[in-house]
Each structure stands twice: as C-alpha cells, then as structure tokens.
Amino acid sequence: MSNQAIIDHLNEILKHEWTGVAQYSQASFIIEGPWREVYAEKFEDDAKESFKHANLIGNKIVALGGVPVAQRNEIKQSKDLTEVLQNSLAFESKAVEMYSQALELAEGNRPLVVFLEDILLDEQEGVEEYTKLLRNSQAVVQASTARKSG
C-alpha cells in the first residue's frame, strides 16, 4: 500500500464528509411545515455524524503524514422533503462506495482496515435508514393487508 494513495483517497473522503456537514445542516435549517418537528433534528444529527467522521479522517490523514483538505464539494438542497431524502440517500451511498474503495487501498494494514470498517458501518446504516424513509408507507400497509387476507 502506498501511503500517498491512501492519503489522497482519505482526502477525497474528507471533502465528502465536509460536504455532509454543510448539506445536512442546510437541510436542517430550511425545513419548514409540520415535518420540521421530526426532520430538523434528524438532519442536524446527520450533520454531526459527518463532522464526527471528518474529525476521525482528518486526524488519521495527519497520523499518516498527510495534510487534510479544508474544501468541500457543492451541496444539494431542496425545499421538497422527498428530494432531500433522495439527496441524503445518494450522499450516504457515495460514502459507502468511498469507504469501500479506501478499504481496498488499506489491505494489509489491519488497524487502518478496522478503523475504516467502523465508519463504513455507520454509512451503511445511513443508506438503510434513508431507503426505509423513502419507501411508500401506504404501499407497505397495502402489501401487509393483502398478505393477511390472502
């Protein structure tokens, strides 16, 4: 494993996590209407999780002898809740992809693998949570009723 290759990839991850801090914070700020009661806090928690990951990755980059980036990518924002949930699912899926690639680069470095796997679990949980939130709950109710009467 080349240290520089892993540092470069971790910096791409760091940019993604900083994007998450801004994107989820923005989603939490701008949500209005009745769903604000539920989702303002949910998005704020997700912003905090991205910050937690950025913190871990930034410190790891320095430990490996690199310099952490302070940039982020463009954020996606919307006033439409379903669209925000879709953007969130896309964000978490990209994170799973990026940490999985990092794990390939980290092969042979057991502590780094464990470190990355730990974060990967959080990201996968995010994918599963947003997938469930995006499911049409009415369709689920209909399916379970059909199963009972069938």
Instruction: Please report, as residue ranges, which positions from 95 to 114 form the binding site for Fe ion (by CB under 5 A).
Output: 95
Nearer to Fe ion, 6 or 119 (CB): 119
Closest approach of Cβ 52 to Fe ion, in Å? 8
Between CA 8 and CA 10 the distance in angstroms is 5
Of 10, 24, 22, 15, the closest CA to residue 99 belongs to 10
Closest approach of Cβ 18 to Fe ion, in Å? 10
Do 61 and 11 form a contact (C-beta atoms < 8 A)? Answer: yes
- How far CA 44 is from CA of 14, 37, 77, 125, 129, in Å, comes to 19, 12, 14, 16, 15
Binding part of the chain for Fe ion, among 49-57, 70-78, 104-112, 140-148 by CB under 5 A, reads 49-57
Between CA 73 and CA 17 the distance in angstroms is 9
Binding residue for Fe ion, selected from 53, 85, 87, 91, defined by CB under 5 A: 53
Nearer to Fe ion, 19 or 84 (CB): 19
Tallying the residues shown for the chain, one arrives at 150
Binding part of the chain for Fe ion, among 25-33, 50-58, 77-85, 106-114 by CB under 5 A, reads 50-58
Closest approach of Cβ 122 to Fe ion, in Å? 6
By CB under 5 A, is residue 15 in contact with Fe ion? Answer: no
Nearer to Fe ion, 5 or 121 (CB): 121
In the numeric block, the tokens 């892993």 are attached to: 6
Binding site for Fe ion (CB under 5 A): 53, 95
